[in-house]
């Protein structure tokens, strides 16, 4: 006889998955293991069909929100819940006091957690493909930029060891900097450089500051500290290797930016979000991907600004007992989303007058830089949710007018 609802807990791994099936009676209907293969997935569907024919009545708990297994489950029509591993461990502690640990016990805990507490969790509802692709592109671009910064730092360290003069010439992240070091990778080649050769190099790269050319040449001709032969030869080889990596990363970053812009131009929410000060070409696509579509007939990822603030870690947590109370930073959040709002709060200081006034007011009262930016990020989240949900554009003058109407101290001088 078919049950009304069945609950599956899946303890996933790279090559196999442990599964427990239960129902509202808390009876274990089945437990088994499948391989991470098409045959294994087919076995899973067959075992589920023994207890429930309708995919809509199959609820599945798993400790991840991505991967081939999750894609297969959602594609089949099951209702999938991504449960934080910490929540599973806390639930398991209520029932397994001995601290015993096994993959099947974890799968069992997942199944029963869904049976008893599923009202505390949201089922996975994938955003439309364009938004998911934009989110992945933005995440990968962030990683590329971090890797590029790491390489630049290594180049600086390398040059300080044997070729410090090169650091005084051009911007470290520019193409002319890379080409100059490839053309003159050590002191010997730079010392042999003639005025005519240097001017030809500058002209070829269309150096935008002609007034500084003479100063650059004087720097090149000035005396400098010399490294020993071993350090110089090893440093030169390492420098050329790092320059190749940096150049490739810059090419791929440009490609990612182009692909991101193509997707962003097709999404209707981009206009309202791009009207916000400080978001720029880098943060606008991250915000669009994070919020998703705002159409009336589409699934909304967020229903309030508070949800976004909590998920991004912009609001603290309060621990209270009796007269004791402690406010601390929210560590349980999406780190990439926290970084996006932190960066936005920082860039808004130069493009929004009220954001600058807010920062200066609280900085004068000895609040820390990161605390102010976190609180400023929370304020931007409220504005972001408003323009996104109403499909409107941001008006700086109107917002300042509203702040003054509420007699906000730091806004009265604006």
Q: What is the CATH number of the domain that holds 151?
A: 1.10.287
The verdict on residue 375 lying in a domain is yes
Give 72's contacts (C-beta < 8 A, 6+ positions apart). Answer: 41
The verdict on residue 12 lying in a domain is yes
Angle, CA 264 vertex, CA 260 and CA 266 arms, to 5°: 130
The verdict on residue 125 lying in a domain is no
* Dihedral angle of Cα 271, 276, 280, 283, to the nearest 10 degrees: -90
Q: Does 296 share its domain with 341?
A: yes
- Secondary structure of residue 8 in the 3-state scheme: strand
- Return the structure tokens found at 39: 């045959």
Nearest to 83 by CA among 116, 121, 57, 56: 121
The verdict on residue 268 lying in a domain is no
State residue 3's pLDDT score.
Answer: 52
Q: Does 170 share its domain with 258?
A: yes
Which tens digits make up the pLDDT trace of 360-404?
999 999 999 999 999 999 999 999 999 999 999 999 999 999 999
- Secondary structure of residue 227 in the 3-state scheme: coil
Q: Decide which of 120, 145, 167 is a domain's last residue.
A: 120
Q: Does 236 share its domain with 194?
A: yes
Q: Does 278 share its domain with 407?
A: yes
d(CA 220, CA 214): 10
Contact criterion met (CB below 8 Å) for 397 and 408: no
Distance of CA 5 to the CA centre of its chain: 36
Domain of residue 354 covers 273-411
State residue 1's pLDDT score.
Answer: 44
Give 94's contacts (C-beta < 8 A, 6+ positions apart). Answer: none
Give 144's contacts (C-beta < 8 A, 6+ positions apart). Answer: 249, 252, 253, 256
- Return the structure tokens found at 233: 């030869």
d(CA 30, CA 223): 79
d(CA 325, CA 317): 11
State residue 307's pLDDT score.
Answer: 94
Place of tokens 């639930």: 91
The verdict on residue 194 lying in a domain is yes
Contact criterion met (CB below 8 Å) for 279 and 300: no
State residue 125's pLDDT score.
Answer: 92
Q: Does 308 share its domain with 392?
A: yes
- Return the structure tokens found at 27: 């009876």
Q: Decide which of 238, 263, 288 is a domain's last residue.
A: 263
6 φ, ψ (degrees, to nearest 5): -125, 150
State residue 413's pLDDT score.
Answer: 86
The verdict on residue 126 lying in a domain is no
d(CA 231, CA 236): 8
Which tens digits make up the pLDDT trace of 160-209?
999 999 998 988 888 999 999 999 999 889 989 899 999 999 999 998 88
Q: Decide which of 120, 149, 177 is a domain's last residue.
A: 120
Q: Does 280 share its domain with 405?
A: yes
Sign (positive or negative) of CA dihedral 350, 353, 377, 362: positive
Provide the β-strand partners of residue 8: 21, 60
The verdict on residue 161 lying in a domain is yes
d(CA 88, CA 113): 7
Residue stretches of the chain with pLDDT short of 70: 1-3
State residue 70's pLDDT score.
Answer: 96
Q: Give first-to-last CA distance, the chain, whole Å.
A: 71
State the average pLDDT for the chain: 93
Domain count, the chain: 3
Q: Does 55 share its domain with 27?
A: yes
Which tens digits make up the pLDDT trace of 88-111?
998 888 877 777 788 999 999 999
């Amino acid at each position: 006889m078919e049950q009304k609802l069945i609950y599956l807990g899946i303890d996933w791994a790279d090559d196999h998955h442990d599964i427990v099936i239960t129902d509202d009676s808390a009876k274990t209907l089945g437990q088994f293991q499948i391989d991470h293969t098409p045959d294994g997935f087919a076995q899973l569907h067959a075992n589920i069909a023994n207890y429930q024919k309708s995919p809509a009545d199959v609820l599945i708990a798993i400790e991840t929100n991505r991967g081939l297994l999750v894609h297969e489950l959602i594609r089949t029509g099951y209702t999938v819940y991504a449960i934080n591993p910490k929540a599973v461990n806390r639930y398991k502690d209520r029932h397994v006091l001995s601290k015993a640990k096994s993959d099947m016990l974890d799968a069992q805990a997942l199944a029963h957690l869904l049976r008893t507490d599923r009202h505390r969790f949201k089922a996975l509802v994938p955003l439309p493909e364009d938004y998911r692709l934009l989110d992945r592109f933005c995440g990968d671009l962030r990683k590329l930029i971090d890797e590029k910064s790491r390489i630049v730092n290594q180049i600086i360290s390398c040059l300080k060891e044997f070729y410090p003069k090169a650091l005084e010439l051009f911007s470290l992240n520019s193409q002319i900097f890379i080409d100059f070091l490839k053309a003159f990778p050590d002191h010997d080649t730079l010392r042999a450089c003639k005025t005519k050769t240097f001017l030809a190099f500058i002209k070829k790269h269309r150096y935008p500051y002609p007034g500084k050319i003479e100063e650059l040449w004087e720097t090149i001709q000035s005396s400098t500290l010399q490294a020993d032969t071993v350090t110089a030869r090893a440093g030169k080889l390492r420098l050329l290797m790092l320059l190749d990596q940096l150049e490739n990363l810059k090419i791929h970053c440009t490609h990612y930016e182009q692909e991101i812009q193509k997707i962003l131009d097709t999404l209707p929410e981009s206009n309202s979000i791009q009207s916000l000060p400080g978001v720029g070409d880098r943060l606008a696509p991250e915000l669009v991907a994070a919020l998703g579509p705002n159409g009336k007939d589409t699934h909304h990822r967020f229903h309030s600004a508070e949800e976004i603030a909590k998920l991004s870690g912009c609001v603290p947590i309060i621990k209270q007992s009796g007269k004791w109370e402690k406010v601390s930073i929210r560590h349980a959040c999406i780190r990439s989303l926290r970084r996006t709002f932190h960066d936005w709060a920082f860039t808004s200081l130069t493009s929004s007058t009220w954001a600058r006034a807010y920062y200066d007011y609280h900085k004068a009262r000895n609040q820390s830089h990161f605390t102010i930016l976190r609180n400023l990020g929370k304020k931007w989240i409220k504005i972001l949710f408003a323009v996104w949900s109403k499909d409107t554009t941001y008006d700086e003058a109107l917002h300042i007018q509203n702040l003054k109407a509420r007699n906000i101290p730091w806004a009265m001088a604006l």
